[in-house]
Each structure stands twice: as C-alpha cells, then as structure tokens.
Structure 1
Amino acid sequence: MKFNTKAIHGGQQDIDPAYGSVMSPIYQTSTFSQKTPGSHKGFEYSRSGNPTRSALEKSIASIENGKHGLAFASGLAAIDAIIKTLKPGDEVISTNDLYGGTYRLFNTIYKDFGIKFHFIGMQSMDTIESYITKNTKLIWAETPTNPMMNVVDIEAISKIAKKHKVLLAVDNTFATAYLQRPLDFGADIVMHSATKYLGGHSDVISGSIVVNDDKLAEQLYFIQNASGGIAGPMDSFLVLRGIKTLHLRMQRHSENGRAVAEYLQNHPKVENVYWPGLKDHPNHDIAKKQMKDFGGMVSFTTKGNSYKEAIKFVENIKVFTLAESLGGVESLAGHPASMTHASIPKEEREKIGVVDSLIRLSVGIEDKEDLLEDLKQALG
C-alpha cells in the first residue's frame, strides 16, 4: 500500500467479527469473558490489551513502516516507557532544543534515578560522537525540533548509533509519518505525541511508539502493561479516526505553513522566521532529503526581542487561538517562554533561541487568506 491507502486501511484488513463493522468499534470494557482459565479470544483485561487499542497500534505501525506499535495515555507516557528500558548509570544524549515536557521528565524525574542526560545541539555528527561513552544507551532526537524547528539528520545519526551499538529514538510529532518516517532512515524507535497531528482535532490525549526489533518490542510491551500508562478505548478510537485523514490534513497544513512562513519573512516587524521549507533555514537540504514537505509548524521572533510585543501579538489574534498544544485542524499560537517551555530555566531557554519574543504557530487548515489577514492585523 502507498501512504494514503495505509492511513485508511493499514493494519485494518480484519473486519470486526461480531457484526462486520467497517470502523473499529469502541470496546469500552475493562475485562473479557473466558471459557476456562486462559481460554479466551485474545484479550483478558484491557490494561494488557483491548481490541480498539490493538487496531490503533496496528495502524500506527503500518504508517511508520514498522512491525510493532504501542499506544499510550499521552506522549509523555510513551517517552516514560522508553526511558524505563534504561538502568541507573546509563547515559542519554538528547537534543538540547526539545519539548519542555520531555526536558522536565528527563531532567527532574529520571535524573534522580541515576540516569545521566547530555543536552546538546545535534547539527554536528562529531559533537554527538564526542559525547558517547561506554555507558551511553540512547540518543534522543526531535526533528523538526520544538520550537526552533531545527532539523536533525536522522540517517547520519543512525550510522553513529549503530557504530556504537546505541539505540536511536526520534520524536516524530511535528513531521508525522506523512512527511517523514524515521525507521526508514535507520532509527530504532519512533515516538509521537498522538495528541497532536495523529489525532488532529484537539480532542484527545495520547501517545505512540513504533519499533521493528522484536526483542525491544517485547520489552516495551512488558513496560506498557506493567506500568499501565495505556491508551483507553475511546481515546484509541479518536486517534484511529484521526489517522484516516492524516494525509489530507498534513498536505493542507504544509501548504498553509509555507504561505505563513513566506508572509512573515517579508514582514517589517518580524526579525527571524523558523520553518524548514525556507531555503535559508539551517539544514534545509537535510529537510528536503528526509521530508516529503515541511509541515505547518512555524516559529518567529518580532524585532527588538520585546516580551511586551510578543504578548501583545498573541492577545490580538482572532482566527489563531492562543492555546497550548498543536497539530489540530484549527490554527493556534503560543508563547514558548511562558507556556510550553516555561519548565526550562530562562538561561537555558535563551541558549537554544527560546527568547522572550519567540512565538510558535501551529498553522491549521483554514483558508490561508484568513490566516494571513489575521497575522497582518495582529502584527499591525
């Protein structure tokens, strides 16, 4: 199957055996009957497995060209499961420009469990390799990164990871499998906050992991069941429904993202624009190599690096909505320094470019003319 067909049918060839339902039903049940102890139809207890969640897990594996999919209660629950494969004394090399919730989990929770994290820029392969020691077990990458839209060369990092027998995990939330499939470039783990583009309608919290390696999958399935941070049946249904229109939405997100980025780049009140599709964007050539298009996430700074001007902008928007999160059909705007990345100390934020004037846009699928008009009036 090609991608658009996979989004609708991938992993979903089995029609519901009860009544032939075309869509995967919501099995809103905690437990399943057994004829005799251990004799059942594949499901015993919904933490361990649920037909609706299983349908979602097959779907996410299919669109990422992976063998094994796992669905979680949130993106952070998925990341938590990955880090639980490590032990005290292990080391992780992580992107320094990453989602604030991931940074918080790494730097305030798992640091206290004896896991050491190195937060570095991942533009130089030599820099990445210089941090690898005998204790390094995982490289954690986002691409494009949140919120600076930096692009990481997945294939190049995967070669380093394999050379040193280190796992490479890629947070693919911003790009989605429609634009980029990290497993195809050598990554071992691909993770999503399915809350965002996979769900696509700002009505569900969920997370996902896809892997190819059978042993790693077995370990993650065990952690998923043992820790219990699973996606419920209703949430699984909503994400599964969202995936069926992912290709259509991502195409429009990318079209509108381009229009917004080019408009902002030519606006007299805008200092910097961060969108991988711009020719002067750092690692634009890498983005062209590993991405089908460049998505709907755009960040920019206003001239003068004024906190006051940035807040004035987000207060004045009308079609865009000031809100946390991203990836829904509606356009959102956020102020990372005071919202999504507030958990990162100011000094650390500013080192990676998250200054007080930075604004992050999640460009939706509305008419682009209305979005540009809204930016014009809010900047004016």
Structure 2
Amino acid sequence: VVAARAAFGSCRWLTDTLLPKFGIETTTIDSRDNAQWEAAIRPNTKVFFFETPANPTMDIVDMAFVCGLAKAHGITTVVDNAFSTSALQRPMDFGADVVAYSATKMMDGQGRVLAGAVAASNAFMDEKLLPFQRNTGPNLSPFNAWVVLKGLETLDLRIRRQSENAMAVGKFMEKRVPIMLHPGLASHPQHDLAMRQMAACGPIFSFVLDGGRSQAMALLNALKLIDISNNIGDSRSLLTHPASTTHHSVGPEARAAMGVSEGMLRINIGLEDPQDLIEDLDQALQAVGL
C-alpha cells in the first residue's frame, strides 16, 4: 500500500499497526507531491490510499494524476471522500476505483448513527466486498440505514449551505489566526487544484495557534455557541483539538510529520447564522489574546 501521510488517526492506525500483522506493508508519503507517488511504487504495490481534503491538514491530492498513475501500473486507487461526499466531489470521475465514506458524518448530518459506505464497480462489489460482508458481518442495521437514507434527502442542501457559511467564517478567521487551512481561500497553497476538483470546499477547515496546546484548549473553553466535539458533518458547528482526539493514537513524531501540531484546531461549520459563529469565535479569540 502507498498511503498519504496526512490522514485520519484511525486510518493511520490501520496502515501502521493493523495491516503489518497481516504482512501488508505501507509506504506513507507527502500526498501533495506527485513525484512521491511515483517514487513509492514497488513491484508488489497493490493499492493507493488517500483522503482529499485530508483530515485535518486539508491537503489536496491531484486525483487525475494519481489515479492515472495507478491505472498505468495496475494499482487500485481507494479514496476517502468523507469530507466532501459526492455532492461536492466525485473521485470516480477522476479515475478512482473505490470511494469510501463515513456516513456518520455528512450523510447523516445530525450525529445520530455510526455508519459507512463504499462505492465501487459492480465487479468489485460482487467479487470482493459482498463476500467479505457476508462472511464477517459488518452490516448496517435496517433502522440506521433508514436514518442515513433520510439524511441523504437533504445532503445537497445542507452541505452547500454549510460550505457557504464556512467561507464566511473562514474569511474572518484568516485575518485573526497565524495559520489558516481552508482550500476554498485563495491563500491556500492548493486552492487552484481544489477548485478544479470540488464544486465547493465543504464545511470543514483547520487553523493553527502559536500558543500550542494551552492556547488551543483555552480557546475551546471560551466558546459559548460552538460545541466541542471530534465529529464532522453535523448540522451544528463543532470544534476539536486533533492532537488529543482524532490523532491521539498517532505518535508525536508521526503527528509532526503529517503537520498536526499541538496548536491546531479543526472546525466543522454548521447551519447556524454565520454571524453568530463569527461573534462566538471573535470573543473566544479575544479571550486567548488574539
């Protein structure tokens, strides 16, 4: 496996800890650098895996290049599209073979269920996924499936409104924090690539404070409207500290290598009035001296 270095903490646990127990090796790379994808290919490489945007660094992968490279070498490309869903980004249009979703997030949209979804060709489903499901049992309950289906009815409306809110809040935050990571903003180093691949840049972005963990925690504790939670995709705005939540299982050195610092915070912008969110963040920033 060749995998993006910047990824959700549980994905890194799978590639770094679980897969080696089954004799599966993973090479992690800086997914923003196309040359590293090509350099990492070995004769036994079977899978490319990445998130775009990446959680929580918001790195963008050039899907057309990476998927094209994979096909040229007979490699299967697996894309985690949880941050965008197919409402904003369609990896298969760029050549991806398998697309994974956390339906817990945007698809549900209200934090009600734990669920996942996989999109792939009929052949992949029939030959690989369905036999695995049938014999190991990772199947969603009928009720939870119904909840996700109800969430999908409003997905397009929700995610586009949340994306608009995130742009408004992001423009405010860009003026107040040392490092801003929102691919929808022109200041993001991969903004042009994001705009080529995405209909909108979604409700999630990250930012970094110079004061490290203590300043980040102080800001979290100063919030009045925005909730503290490591979930994303909810219709409520949520803020989390990745180094101590989503990426706590990743060692300090690995976190530093992927760009997850102690001062990083990741926010999911919800459906609230964006001005209310700006005012809450403004008073919290003032409380920590920003």
Q: Do structure 1's residue 379 and structure 2's residue 288 form an aligned pair?
A: no
Q: Deviations over 1:149-198 (max 9, x none)?
A: 11111111011000000000100000111100101110000000110001
Residue 108 of structure 2: which of 189, 199, 207 is its match?
199
CA distance in 2, matches of 1:212, 1:184: 13
Aligned partner of 2:257 in structure 1 is 351
How much does 1:123 deviate? 1.5
Shift of 1:118: 1.0
**TM-score, length basis structure 2:** 0.96
Per the TM alignment, residue 218 of structure 1 is displaced from its structure 2 partner at its CA by 2.6
Q: For residue 312 of structure 1, what is the aligned residue in structure 2? A: 218
The answer to whether the 8 A contact 2:80-2:100 is kept is yes
Give the TM-score taking structure 1 as reference length.
Answer: 0.74
Question: In angstroms, what is the RMSD of aligned CA positions?
Answer: 1.0
Q: CA deviation at 1:213?
A: 4.8
| Corresponding residue pairs, total | 286
CA contact (8 A) 1:123 1:152 kept: yes
More helix by percentage: 2
1:271 aligns with 2:178: yes
CA distance in 2, matches of 1:217, 1:246: 28
Is it true that 1:284 corresponds to 2:191 in the alignment?
yes
| 2:161 aligned partner, one-letter code | R
| Structure 1 residue ranges, 4+ long, deviating more than 3 angstroms after superposition | none
The reply on whether 1:169 has 2:78 as its aligned counterpart is yes
Percent identity of paired positions between Structure 1 and Structure 2: 37
What is the 5 A alignment of 1:48-127? 92-127=1-36
Q: Is the 8 A contact 2:212 2:261 kept in 1?
A: no
Cα distance in 2 for partners of 1:282, 1:142 equals 17
Offset at 1:225?
A: 1.2
Question: Partners of 1:328 and 1:201 in 2: how far apart?
Answer: 5
1:214 — aligned with what?
123
Change (3 A) 1:110 1:272: same
Tell me, in whole angstroms, the C-alpha distance in 2 between the residues paired with 1:137 and 1:215. 14
Measured after TM superposition, the shift of residue 282 of structure 1 is 2.1
The structure having more radius of gyration, on CA atoms, is 1
Q: How does 1:121-140 map to 2 (within 5 A)?
A: 121-140=30-49
Q: Which stretches in structure 1 are left out of the alignment for 5+ residues? A: 1-91
Judge conservation of contact 1:151–1:282 (CA < 8 Å) in 2: no
Q: Residue type matched to 2:48 in 1? A: I
Cα distance in 2 between the residues matched to 1:254 and 1:272: 20
1:95 touches 1:120 (CA, 8 Å); kept in 2?
A: yes
Distance 2:31 2:2 in 1: 9
Is 1:337–2:221 an aligned residue pair? Answer: no
Q: CA–CA distance in 1 between the matches of 2:276 and 2:134?
A: 46
Is there any run of 5+ residues in structure 2 with no aligned partner, and where? none
Whole-Å Cα distance in 2 between the matches of residues 215 and 370 of structure 1? 46
For residues 213 and 284 of structure 1, the distance between their equivalents in structure 2, rounded to whole angstroms, comes to 34
1:246 aligns with 2:152: no
Alignment-derived partner of residue 146 in structure 1 = 55
Tell me which amino acid in the other structure corresponds to 1:244: E
1:364 is the counterpart of 2:273 = no
| CA distance in structure 1 between the partners assigned to 2:155 and 2:255 by the alignment | 32
Q: Residue deviations 1:345-371, cap 9 Å, x none?
A: 011101221111100001111100110
Secondary structure (helix, strand or coil) at the match of 1:208 reads strand
